[in-house]
Structure 1
Amino acid sequence: MQFKHPEILYFLFLLVIPILVHLFQLRRFKKEYFTNVKLLKELSIQTRKSSTIKKWLLLATRLLLLACLIFAFAQPFFKAKDSESSANEMVIILDNSFSMQSKGSKGELLKRAVQDLLENTPENQRFSLITNTETFWDTDIKSVQKDLQNLQYSSAPFQLDFLLTKIETKKHNLPLDIVVISDAVGINQKDIQKLTGRKSVYSWIPEAENKNNVGIDKVSISQHLDNFYEIKVDISVYGEMENDIPVAVYNGKNLIAKTVIQPDTNKKAVTFTLPKKDFHGHVAIEDNSLTYDNSYYFSISKPEKSNVTTIGETAKNEFLTRIYTADEFIFTNTELNALNYNSLENQDAVILNELKDIPQALGTTLKDFYAKGGNIVLIPASESSVQNLNAFLGNFSSLKAGPLLNQEKQITKIAFSHPLYQTVFEKKIDNFQYPKVNAAFTFSGNPSPILSFDDQSFFLGSVTNKIGDFYVFSAPVNKTNSNFQNSPLIVPTFYNMAQNHQKTGISAYTIGENENLILDVLLSKDEVVTIANDQSDFIPMQQILNHKIKLSFGDYPETSGNYSVLKNKEILKNISFNHARTESDLSQRNDNLFDAFTSVNSVATVFDDIHSARTGNAIWKYFIIATLLFLLLELLIQKFVK
């Protein structure tokens, strides 16, 4: 037992006073003579004995009463078992990722955690609060009350390792009490390494009642018809769903199509037919789980004619005139010696068809063209020198050309999943009539293969800078060297290589992936474009590229939806944004990783545990009670003991 005010114990010397009073009473007895009656004399002796016992009882009672009172003022206590940690700083890590939208017994997990913090955190408790997106250092619950009530779900995944690193970068003078509040979806062993060895770590893992979920992964154009698009909606099913899932397509707020799917497999696909005109809407599903992945926003602009220039001999370019027809393309066929270099920046695709020598100036011009989002197709000539090819390839990739091998090769493999063929084949084909070549250049490097030979080397490969594509053939495609021009692959291959997907495809960007958009627009020096919808707007990073502008979105916007690119109030293009589907699979829960730490089921439990472990057991109140009891006992002795 220890005392908060041990100096008060000096007053125990006061116990001497009642002892002196009882032992050295100043009262003197005076003898009185009465009739010699034996009975009265015996009674006097008994009264004196009873009076002596009463005095000793009163002395003991008063000594104990005074001693208990002095002990009470000294405030005795028993030392806490974890008193060394009583001055620790508290850090609360709160997961506000989309998976916290799932519902527990008391509603959405994040809202339940916020409510628990607001109700059970002591007002005088200082702490730091770290979320996926927000940081509040050394604050109290009243100061962050509004921020907690307005806390939104974040598209940023819960990266515990990153948040712990952020905490470590801020210097702390005292040890930390760390409270982690998360559903543990997506957490792995690496994330908790920084917690290993810490003495005071509490984990609260609220559990969802429903771990099943359905989410829309992607919307793409599966087929171009004369007057319609056929779009494909890819849907993922996590867990076992019993009821059919309704799927609806909205153009703006107008419902234009609806169907249902049976969630009997993990991956589902449903198709819709849309008119070939501007579309600015979304696909939506309904399920009783996460809501962030129930809508996928996308925009389709009315097709524009793509500008295509082919550089090469007119006779060799003849097959391209039958592909790039006037109803869909503005096609230009030019000889190298008649090429207008200034016209290239207005093209969507440039095809170099069997140029024996590619000038350095052309390579430099096309490098800038590629950086601005243009597509380039290189078809080498049999007479091309390896040195000249490599000088040109160096502008776009790490590909290196080797010597031409006069050896027949069969094209045997199609990359059906490559963006070039995603809308061409409904399913993989095994008995396809593959073309062949009589001679091909060897290449080193790692392009994305599109068409490959039987020896696994590529016939057609590609590299991309995310806004433009560079396609390279390893062999000439003239009829002397190959029968590729007679293959069914010739039309979709060259057709899709010439398409500017930012003009003809779906405009749907993923928030946080810092994607880019190239627009044909002329801005003055001080003009900027904005991206806005009815709820919010932001100014993206923008770079002027002659008659074009390059927009970079970074981590914006904060919410998914349909937006428009505006120059002043003029709409330049409709685009859409969606959150990455990284939180949709609730089965990624790894709560067993926190078994080594203190598990709690509420914030109140954390503070109760800390208080009981670090607060000494004060027992002064028991001495006050004892004082009152001895006072009562003295009164009883005075009244009933004669």
Structure 2
Amino acid sequence: MNFLYPGFLFALLAVLVPVVIHLFNFRKFKRVYFSNVSFLREVKEQNSSREKLKNLLVLAARMLAIVFLVLAFARPFINSNADTNKINGNIVSIYLDNSYSMDAVNKEGSLLDEAKRRAKEIAKSYQLNDRFQLLTNDFEGKHQRLLNKEEFLQAIDEVKISAANRFLQQVINRQQGVFTGVSNRYAYVISDFQQNFAGKEAIKKDQDTQLTLVKLSANELPNISVDSVGFLSPVHQPNTSEKIIVRLKNFGNDDAKNVPLKLTINNQQKAVNSVSIAAGATFTDTLSFSGLGLGWQKGVLSIKDYPLTFDDELNFSFEVNANQQILSINGGKTAKYIEALYNADPYFKLTSVSENNINYAAFSNYSLIVLNGISQPSSGLALELKNFVNNGGTVVIFPSTAANVSSYASFLTTLNLPAVTSLATVATKVSQIELKHSLFKEVFETLPKNMDLPLVNRYFTYAENSRITKEPLLQLPAGKTFLARYPITSGQIFLAATGLEETDGNLAKHPLFVPLMYKIAFQSVKDQPLFYTIAKDNVITLPLVKLGANQSLKLIGDGFDIIPDVSRQNGKSLLYVADQIQKAGFYDVKKADSIMAVVAFNDNRAESNMKYDNQTDLQERFGTNKIHFIDTKKENISSAIAEKNNGTELWKLCLILSLVFIAAEILLVRFFKLQIHR
């Protein structure tokens, strides 16, 4: 048996007090005169043994009452935890879940307030010299240092609801990082334990850490969130009709009916709708709007849903451009078909150059480059195009069938494309079209049974290579490639088997040619993400921004102004914001007084699912790893911690026994009477 406070055992010297009183019985005797002394002697002899017995029992009761009272203060326990060494001291890490779900209310008030109270109870269960770590979802640097008990209690009061979202494995890893030396390691996780928090994967922990999960009582609440948004077209043109796809999710157990949905852009209402969503289902809706001007647009999708409102709005941003830059690199003959195609629409701004007059430095200004029948493809051009594609660009290759086969084979191999094997001169016809590909989506109103497909007189055949990812679009008989898409890194290349000359076939004059090339041009536009997620997306990606020696980019929002770290990578500018953005909204990226971009941030939707794991579910995540649970409904935290850390505590038993012996003394004094025989 061990003692938490052995210093109190010195108080056992107090048992000498009743012993002294017993030995030096301070009672004063009164002299009584009797006529018959022999009779008095007989009575005295008969009662002396009973009086001695009574005095001894009273003395024993007093001594035992004092002994057990002292033991109760010394906190005796039977140590059932062999891994704990009290001499080494304790390091206690307490994770306080401050995510949005902790803003919910139960009988104890808000879950966050209850969590703070529980954290304080845990801290008070340890000694004054123990060290503590407070950890929240913010993962702040100041929470990586150890605090004394007073500092820890003050830090708890400063915790507020945060937009950050973490997983249980991340929390445990962070807690284990603070443990050092030979001190006893205690980790506590105070949370409502939403299902997304623990996840579905197995959770690992250090065997030397005693982990305790403190589950708060939370009620499952109905909730609907605006989950995501996307455009049908990546291209945004001024004063044209747009269609936006909205996804809503009902996390509740009941159907949601007539939920109002509203779309505003630049604070102007553009569309409204009323939707119904089945319980636990995801609903997708399409909203149409028009009337956009040039420049950056700030859109907000919103619904009305109670009691949880943090996920009722979704911010997104996009840019409407006046035109799209396209480069055509042409062979010896004129590029009349490409020029006629793209010059017919003022949205496209086409630049045509000869293969002998290429400005490689200007490649980054274009989203699409068309190689139109070049006869002398060089290795230098191949390397520049490869870099362009790796940076997200799109290339379309219409080869010159009059060129040398081996030169094209080497050129295509440098671009990680299949090599040319031969030139076929037998007239044939495209036999198959991949209508399910996104390029052909919404191209045909109805699909004819016998579709008229392009004719071809001269074409290259390509070597099949299983290591190269290929998406066939148009195929010749026997599965030969006529036009295919090859995704490469973050860009793409469209490779045709023939050129656009009339001697090669009728592709340039075929009705399929115009929508096909328009769709490729639209798909080549690489818009920035419509929105970012707070505490998840810490890097903002922009097209390359050229900065002078004394220039920098600023990120400016509502009461927010920082200069982020900027780096250049793969032809893009990367802005590192770390965890500095904590509020949903719009932020302008400025270079001096010019707005380079507008980025939107939203809260993490992982907190939208208000369903929780129970103790059995959590235990399964840990497998054979030993963990402890504290049920705040059934257990007192202080007692549960003391029992877990110290084994079986006996102070309550000692206190009860002390009271029992005090009661025994009272009974002996009052009811143990001496009998006189006459």
**What does 1:297-376 align with in structure 2 at a 5 Å threshold?**
297-313=315-331, 315=333, 317-325=335-343, 327-370=346-389, 374-376=393-395
Aligned partners of 2:68 and 2:658 also within 8 Å: yes
Which of 226, 231, 245 is equivalent to 1:233?
A: 245
Aligned partners of 2:532 and 2:601 also within 8 Å: yes
Q: Shift in Å at residue 235 of structure 1?
A: 1.0
**What does 1:610-621 align with in structure 2 at a 5 Å threshold?**
610-613=641-644, 614=646, 616-618=649-651, 619-621=653-655
Structure 2 counterpart of 1:111: 112
Aligned partners of 2:122 and 2:641 also within 8 Å: no
Q: Shift in Å at residue 167 of structure 1?
A: 3.7
Which of 543, 546, 551 is equivalent to 1:518?
A: 543
Structure 2 counterpart of 1:461: 485
Aligned partners of 2:223 and 2:305 also within 8 Å: no
Aligned partners of 2:316 and 2:530 also within 8 Å: yes
**What does 1:261-272 align with in structure 2 at a 5 Å threshold?**
261-264=275-278, 266-272=282-288
The one-letter code of the counterpart of 1:241 is: D
Which of 563, 568, 588 is equivalent to 1:564?
A: 588
Which of 555, 563, 566 is equivalent to 1:531?
A: 555
Distance 1:14 1:587 in 2: 62
Q: Shift in Å at residue 320 of structure 1?
A: 1.5
Structure 2 counterpart of 1:253: 267
Distance 1:430 1:559 in 2: 53
Secondary structure of 2:44's aligned partner: helix
Q: Name the count of aligned residue pairs.
A: 622
Q: Shift in Å at residue 620 of structure 1?
A: 5.0
Structure 1 counterpart of 2:77: 79
Aligned partners of 2:250 and 2:277 also within 8 Å: no
1:454-487, Cα deviation, whole Å (9 max, x unpaired)? 8496822143554x54443354454544544345
Q: Which moved more, 1:317-326 or 1:165-174?
A: 165-174
Structure 1 counterpart of 2:167: 159
Aligned partners of 1:360 and 1:392 also within 8 Å: yes
1:608 aligned to 2:639? yes
1:451 aligned to 2:473? yes
Structure 2 counterpart of 1:508: 530
Distance 1:10 1:260, change over 3 A: closer
Q: Shift in Å at residue 576 of structure 1?
A: 2.6
Q: Shift in Å at residue 565 of structure 1?
A: 1.9
Distance 1:17 1:66 in 2: 12
Structure 1 counterpart of 2:623: none
Distance 1:432 1:41, change over 3 A: farther
Q: Shift in Å at residue 227 of structure 1?
A: 2.6
Q: Shift in Å at residue 625 of structure 1?
A: 3.8
Aligned partners of 2:238 and 2:291 also within 8 Å: no
Distance 1:281 1:14, change over 3 A: closer
Distance 1:322 1:94, change over 3 A: farther
Structure 1 counterpart of 2:230: 219
Which of 213, 220, 224 is equivalent to 1:202?
A: 213
Distance 1:18 1:302, change over 3 A: closer
Structure 2 counterpart of 1:282: 300
Q: Which moved more, 1:12-21 or 1:228-237?
A: 12-21
1:179 aligned to 2:188? yes
Aligned partners of 1:352 and 1:378 also within 8 Å: yes
The one-letter code of the counterpart of 1:594 is: L
Aligned partners of 1:516 and 1:553 also within 8 Å: no
Q: Shift in Å at residue 410 of structure 1?
A: 2.3
Aligned partners of 2:213 and 2:629 also within 8 Å: yes
1:333-367, Cα deviation, whole Å (9 max, x unpaired)? 22212444455454343211122321223234434
Distance 1:545 1:411, change over 3 A: same
Distance 1:370 1:114 in 2: 52
Aligned partners of 1:306 and 1:500 also within 8 Å: no
Distance 1:72 1:21, change over 3 A: same
**What does 1:13-162 align with in structure 2 at a 5 Å threshold?**
40=36, 44-45=40-41, 47-49=43-45, 52=48, 55-65=51-61, 67-68=63-64, 71-72=67-68, 75=71, 79-80=77-78, 82=80, 84=82, 85=84, 87=86, 89-96=91-98, 100=101, 103=104, 105=106, 111=112, 114-117=115-118, 120-123=121-124, 125=126, 126-134=131-139, 136-137=143-144, 138-139=146-147, 140=149, 141-149=152-160, 151-154=161-164, 156=165, 158-162=166-170
The percent of aligned pairs where both chains have the same amino acid is 17
Distance 2:277 2:78 in 1: 57
Aligned partners of 1:249 and 1:255 also within 8 Å: yes
Q: Shift in Å at residue 260 of structure 1?
A: 1.2
Aligned partners of 1:219 and 1:296 also within 8 Å: no
Aligned partners of 2:332 and 2:375 also within 8 Å: no
Q: Which moved more, 1:290-299 or 1:78-87?
A: 78-87
The one-letter code of the counterpart of 2:261 is: V
1:493 aligned to 2:494? no
What TM-score does the superposition give when structure 2 sets the normalisation length? 0.75
Distance 1:632 1:572 in 2: 89
What are the ranges of 5 or more consecutive residues in structure 2 without an aligned counterpart?
A: 621-626
**What does 1:416-455 align with in structure 2 at a 5 Å threshold?**
416-417=437-438, 424=442, 433=451, 435-436=453-454, 438=456, 439=459, 440-444=461-465, 445-447=467-469, 449=471, 451-453=473-475, 455=479
Distance 2:665 2:108 in 1: 56
Distance 1:365 1:262, change over 3 A: same
Structure 1 counterpart of 2:435: 414
Aligned partners of 1:18 and 1:62 also within 8 Å: no
Q: Which moved more, 1:253-262 or 1:70-79?
A: 70-79
Aligned partners of 2:317 and 2:531 also within 8 Å: no
Distance 1:436 1:102 in 2: 63
Distance 1:448 1:429, change over 3 A: farther
Q: Which moved more, 1:268-277 or 1:372-381?
A: 372-381
Distance 1:330 1:213 in 2: 44
Q: Shift in Å at residue 543 of structure 1?
A: 4.5
Distance 2:422 2:289 in 1: 47
Instruction: Tell me how large the CA RMSD over aligned residues is.
Output: 4.6
Distance 1:341 1:21, change over 3 A: closer
1:508-560, Cα deviation, whole Å (9 max, x unpaired)? 143445452115x65321101112222323334434799x9724456564443
Distance 1:66 1:226, change over 3 A: closer
What TM-score does the superposition give when structure 1 sets the normalisation length? 0.79
Structure 2 counterpart of 1:37: none
The one-letter code of the counterpart of 1:128 is: Q
The one-letter code of the counterpart of 2:650 is: N
Secondary structure of 2:256's aligned partner: coil
Distance 1:343 1:244 in 2: 53
Distance 2:585 2:524 in 1: 20
Distance 1:110 1:250, change over 3 A: farther
Secondary structure of 1:191's aligned partner: coil
1:550 aligned to 2:562? no
Aligned partners of 1:509 and 1:515 also within 8 Å: no
Aligned partners of 1:460 and 1:471 also within 8 Å: yes
